[in-house]
Each structure stands twice: as structure tokens, then as C-alpha cells.
């Protein structure tokens, strides 16, 4: 088509945007690396994930036939949808800028796509049936141990567990571990929190902070979660893609970033919602 541009006509602009955007999207997304990832290939917009229930073995007597155990998995369907962002970069704006405008746009688009993925996955926290904490409860190591006990009671594997909370909620945990930031306890976790601000592993679980967790509507209340990797799924049909189109009459290039993916809860019993109130607010 006459109004399109190719990578050869604006090769420098196009290349810089793609390289920067892909780097930022990969590095800035926290949740993507903590959940089960699937790739949608072939026909259709969805992927069906079979869920197998736990089966039990039993003792048998010699020369006695075993009884049949029915294997009838349920399934969860993750349907992808498209997200996108666009801006128009004028020739004058690009040529007159003292900065690399193409790289700046790539950075903004990459962060926007990464944040959207995180926000969509974090929204699944509210769907976990098991809840630890409350609207007036501060986050502490004891609460994390309680949430871990709930998962262990259901036989959830201890490997691949993660805890994600808002920074305001993590503040109370750090304060408790370090005696309110004044006199560190003689422990590796406490010293790490004091020296670097990173909580580290508590109850055998890495604790992450994400500002992408929204307030519940009540001042100081945020919903985090403790979960196994298999608790939630991200199905990617198209990863971050950037395209450009020339608008000659406007003397500008349209820059469009898109991604096609879906998210879903897979195992409800593999996650615990952490309803906590921050003492900062």
C-alpha cells in the first residue's frame, strides 16, 4: 500500500524502537517469570490446560485384582486478547530533539506492555479462595508462615513458591525483621533487609515487591499473594511487536506496539490471598 513504510525507508528509527522495547519488556515484568507460561500456536485464540486431580494408592492383598481408578481431568481455557498503544512521531519532533526519541518511545512502550501484563496477572490474586490477613492486619513473618502452612496443608510443593506484595505492605515486614530499622536482629534476612532493602527469603519463600498492586479502595489496604507457579497461567499468542506506518501528508510516522495474550487462574488451592493493611497510611 502507498501509505506504508518499510524497515529500509526508516531503518534507523525502526531498529532502535524494537531493540529497546523488547529489552525493557523482558526486564521490567515481574509476574511473567513467576507463573506458568504457555504459547498459543496454530488455530484459535485460546489454549486449554488440563488439570489432573490428585490420586491415591492403597495397599492390596496378594493375588487380588486392583480396582480401577478413573482419570478424568478438568481443564482451564485461557483466551487471548489484544492490547496495544500508539503514538505519532513527527519528522520535526524527531529531527529537532536532543535525545534519541525513537529509543525513548521504545522504552515507554515496553514498560507499558510489561506493566499491563503484570496488572492483569496481579488482578488474579483476588480470586484465590483462601485468605490470610484482614483489613486491619499488618504484614509479618508470622502471617507469611501462616499462608505457607495453608498451602503445605493441601500438599502444594514448596518449590516454585513466591510472595508478591505492595511496597507499603513489605515495609511492615522489613520493620519487624529489623526491629523497626534500628537494631538489626542477628540473622541473614534481617541484615539483608537493613543493608539493601531487599527482604529476601522468609519461610523459604522469596518475597517480591510490586507497585502494580492497586489499593483496594480502603486507605492502606492492598491484596498481595503467596502462590505456586502453577496457580496462574499466562498464554502468549503474540509477544511485544512494534510496527510503523508512514503518514506522508502529516510528515510523521505512526508507531504501534501490540501484544496478544491471556491470563487465568489454574489451581485455586495453589494460592493464598494476602489481605494486609500498611502502617504507613
Give the integer Cα–Cα distance in Å for 3 and 7: 14
Give the integer Cα–Cα distance in Å for 35 and 123: 13
Report the CATH number that the domain containing residue 94 is assigned in CATH: 3.30.2400.10
Which triple of cell numbers denotes residue 229?
A: 507457579
Average pLDDT over residues 100-107: 80
What SS3 state is found at 9?
coil
Give domain status of residue 37, yes or no. Answer: yes
* Total of domains in the chain: 2
Give domain status of residue 101, yes or no. Answer: yes
Closest by CA position to 16, among listed 98, 99, 92: 99
Residue 196 has pLDDT above 50, yes or no: no
**Residue 67 backbone dihedrals phi, psi, to 5 degrees:** -80, 150
Give the integer Cα–Cα distance in Å for 50 and 54: 13
Mean pLDDT of the chain: 84
Q: Does residue 151 share a domain with residue 272?
A: yes
Q: Is the pTM of this model over 0.85?
A: no
Residue 194 has pLDDT above 60, yes or no: no
Q: Does residue 239 share a domain with residue 190?
A: no
Within a 10 A sphere around the Cβ of 219, how many other Cβ atoms? 9
Task: Give the domain range for residue 189.
Answer: 123-231+268-277
Give domain status of residue 166, yes or no. Answer: yes
pLDDT, tens only, 5-33: 444 445 566 667 777 777 676 667 789 99
Q: Does residue 129 share a domain with residue 88?
A: no
pLDDT, tens only, 133-151: 998 999 999 999 999 999 9
Report the CATH number that the domain containing residue 189 is assigned in CATH: 3.30.2320
Give the integer Cα–Cα distance in Å for 128 and 125: 6
**Residue 146 backbone dihedrals phi, psi, to 5 degrees:** -65, -45
Average pLDDT over residues 148-171: 93
Average pLDDT over residues 76-89: 93
Q: Does residue 33 share a domain with residue 154?
A: no
Q: Does residue 272 share a domain with residue 155?
A: yes
Q: Does residue 164 share a domain with residue 133?
A: yes
What SS3 state is found at 155?
coil
Q: Does residue 151 share a domain with residue 101?
A: no
Which triple of cell numbers denotes residue 263?
A: 491470563
Give domain status of residue 16, yes or no. Answer: yes
Amino acid at each position: 500500500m502507498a501509505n506504508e513504510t518499510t524497515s529500509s525507508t526508516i531503518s534507523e528509527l525502526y531498529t532502535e524502537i524494537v531493540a529497546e522495547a523488547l529489552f525493557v519488556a523482558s526486564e521490567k515484568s515481574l509476574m511473567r517469570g513467576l507463573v506458568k507460561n504457555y504459547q498459543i500456536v496454530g488455530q484459535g485464540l485460546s489454549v486449554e490446560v488440563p488439570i489432573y486431580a490428585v490420586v491415591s494408592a492403597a495397599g492390596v492383598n496378594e493375588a487380588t485384582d486392583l480396582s480401577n481408578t478413573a482419570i478424568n481431568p478438568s481443564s482451564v481455557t485461557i483466551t487471548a486478547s489484544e492490547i496495544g498503544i500508539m503514538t505519532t512521531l513527527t519528522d520535526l519532533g524527531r529531527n529537532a530533539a536532543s535525545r534519541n526519541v525513537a529509543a525513548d518511545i521504545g522504552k515507554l512502550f515496553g514498560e507499558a506492555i510489561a506493566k499491563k501484563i503484570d496488572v492483569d496477572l496481579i488482578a488474579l490474586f483476588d480470586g484465590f479462595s483462601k485468605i490470610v490477613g484482614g483489613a486491619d492486619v499488618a504484614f509479618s513473618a508470622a502471617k507469611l508462615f501462616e499462608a505457607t502452612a495453608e498451602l503445605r496443608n493441601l500438599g502444594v510443593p514448596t518449590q516454585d513458591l513466591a510472595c508478591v506484595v505492595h511496597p507499603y505492605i513489605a515495609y511492615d515486614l522489613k520493620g519487624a525483621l529489623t526491629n523497626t530499622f534500628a537494631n538489626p536482629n542477628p540473622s541473614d534476612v534481617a541484615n539483608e533487609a537493613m543493608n539493601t532493602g531487599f527482604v529476601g527469603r522468609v519461610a523459604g519463600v522469596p518475597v517480591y515487591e510490586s507497585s502494580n498492586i492497586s489499593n483496594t479502595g480502603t486507605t492502606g489496604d492492598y491484596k498481595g499473594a503467596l502462590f505456586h507457579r502453577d496457580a496462574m497461567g499466562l498464554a502468549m499468542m503474540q509477544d511485544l511487536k512494534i510496527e510503523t506506518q508512514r503518514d506522508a501528508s502529516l510528515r510523521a510516522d505512526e508507531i504501534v506496539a501490540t501484544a496478544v495474550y491471556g491470563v487465568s487462574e489454574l489451581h485455586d488451592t495453589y494460592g493464598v490471598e494476602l489481605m494486609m493493611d500498611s502502617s504507613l497510611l
